[in-house]
Amino acid sequence: MPSCSASRRAAWTTGLILHRASQINTHDGGRGVYFKDPDGHLMEALTVPYGGWPK
């Protein structure tokens, strides 16, 4: 992502998350999904922490 202001970066990230909403990913050997809660907040559910499980 090109260098930009925090508000533009947040808007870009939000757009990316909304584009992937309800799509399951398999990063770090687990599964994760982005979704909006009933109040419209963006949420992420993961089965494995970022970077995988500690060894």
Q: What is the pLDDT of residues 10-49, one digit of tens each?
A: 565 666 666 666 678 888 889 888 888 899 888 888 999 9
Q: How far is CA 30 from the centre of its chain?
A: 14
Residue 32 placed within a domain: yes
Domain of 36 in residue numbering reads as: 6-46
51: Cβ contacts below 8 Å, ≥ 6 apart: 28
Look at 55 and 3; give whichever has higher pLDDT: 55
In the prediction, which pLDDT does 25 show? 81
> CA quadruple 16, 22, 24, 28: dihedral positive or negative?
positive
In the prediction, which pLDDT does 27 show? 80
In the prediction, which pLDDT does 48 show? 92
Residue 37 placed within a domain: yes
Residue 18 placed within a domain: yes
The count of structural domains within the chain is 1
Residue 29 placed within a domain: yes
Backbone angles phi, psi at 16, to 5 degrees: -65, -45
